[in-house]
């Protein structure tokens, strides 16, 4: 049987599961998503952003009630090893659209084989109709026992449809606790919720709402602009007071094999990025980065 035939067979095998997921999505998630999109969860849109950003009254004494300390996913993490997150951007590959898509799938396969902890599918320019088949193709790369977890950027519906481990939420998105409730209600057991954070306040907020980890940046640069105080802000966020084991922070923004050590010395639990994975041999990169924590 050819590779194309195997792929078709696997799609047929997944079809009933995906249909069930879509039914669960319509029943359990759409009401919450409607609130998310139409009531509003971003600054300045008349929604409840101000309420979300309020510091919980019991923040200094305990974590968010659902969490009871921290999630099963966090419990299972090896806290002695660096956490790594590859964030996709097919447009940074050369070639036309089909070639960029192929390079993206090849890089995902490389990261899965190398044991990268998280892959965040972040192709924000794609419509739902375009993103779902891409996410499904990405998910097919993952063996059943894969160490790597696939997270879909912002889109809970796509995460459910393709069987991803969870979602990654921008800092202006809905609260991590609400995303977890929606995904759990739709049948995902112990979903992984990653978040983006750009300040100590956003880290504290996400931690109080039970996020599994935060990508913190920009450390060195963003959109080719140098971040002068990124390392200091990372250091302050990593030294924040926390109840129990703190939420892991992964450094993002201009991180390279050459400066990654500075992030670890500042207290980061890992590294996240686009170019650092897309422009390097991932197996060698992972070995080099993991060794930084052993030095």
Q: What is the pLDDT of residue 25?
A: 53
pTM: 0.78
Listed residue (270, 241, 275, 271) closest to 81, CA to CA = 270
pLDDT digits (tens, 9 = 90+) for 196-253: 999 999 999 999 999 999 999 999 987 767 778 999 999 999 999 877 778 999 999 9
pLDDT digits (tens, 9 = 90+) for 246-263: 899 999 999 999 999 999
Q: pLDDT band for position 51 (50/70/90)?
A: very low
Listed residue (197, 175, 178, 283) closest to 247, CA to CA = 197
Whether residue 28 is predicted with pLDDT greater than 90 in this model: the reply is no
Residue 149, strand partner residues: 118
pLDDT digits (tens, 9 = 90+) for 7-19: 556 555 555 544 5
Q: Domain ranges in the chain?
A: 3-39+76-292
The answer for residues whose C-beta is within 8 angstroms of residue 207's C-beta and 6 or more apart is: 63, 214, 242, 246, 247
Q: Output the six-digit token pair for 266.
A: 């500042």
Handedness of CA 264, 270, 273, 278 (dihedral sign): positive
CB atoms within 10 A of CB 99: 12
CB–CB of 105/112 below 8 Å?
Answer: no
- Regarding the domain with residue range 3-39+76-292, which homologous superfamily does it belong to in the CATH classification? Aldolase class I (3.20.20.70)
Q: What is the pLDDT of residue 6?
A: 52
pLDDT digits (tens, 9 = 90+) for 114-143: 999 999 999 999 999 999 999 999 999 999
Residue 250, strand partner residues: 215, 270
């Amino acid at each position: 049987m050819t590779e194309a035939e195997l792929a078709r067979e696997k799609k047929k095998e997944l079809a009933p599961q995906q249909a069930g997921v879509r039914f669960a999505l319509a029943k359990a998630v759409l009401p919450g998503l409607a609130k998310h999109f139409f009531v509003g969860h971003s600054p300045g849109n008349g929604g409840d952003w101000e309420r979300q950003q309020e510091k919980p009254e019991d923040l200094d004494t305990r974590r968010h009630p659902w969490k009871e300390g921290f999630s099963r996913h966090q419990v299972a993490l090896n806290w002695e090893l660096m956490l790594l997150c590859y964030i996709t951007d097919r447009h940074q590959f050369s070639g036309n659209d089909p070639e960029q898509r192929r390079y993206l799938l090849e890089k995902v396969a490389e990261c899965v084989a190398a044991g990268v902890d998280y892959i965040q599918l972040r192709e924000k320019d794609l419509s739902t109709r375009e993103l779902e088949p891409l996410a499904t193709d990405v998910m097919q790369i993952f063996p059943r026992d894969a160490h790597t977890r696939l997270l879909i950027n912002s889109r809970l519906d796509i995460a459910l449809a393709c069987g991803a481990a969870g979602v990654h939420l921008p800092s202006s998105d809905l609260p991590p606790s609400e995303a977890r409730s929606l995904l759990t209600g739709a049948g995902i057991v112990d979903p992984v919720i990653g978040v983006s954070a750009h300040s100590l306040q956003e880290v504290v907020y996400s931690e109080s709402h039970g996020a599994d980890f935060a990508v913190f940046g920009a450390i060195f640069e963003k959109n080719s602009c140098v971040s002068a105080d990124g390392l200091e802000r990372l250091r302050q966020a990593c030294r924040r007071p926390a109840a129990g084991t703190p939420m892991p922070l992964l450094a993002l923004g201009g991180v390279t094999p050459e400066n990654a050590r500075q992030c670890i010395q500042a207290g980061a639990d890992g590294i996240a990025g686009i170019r650092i994975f897309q422009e390097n041999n991932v197996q060698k990169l992972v070995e080099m980065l993991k060794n930084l924590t052993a030095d």
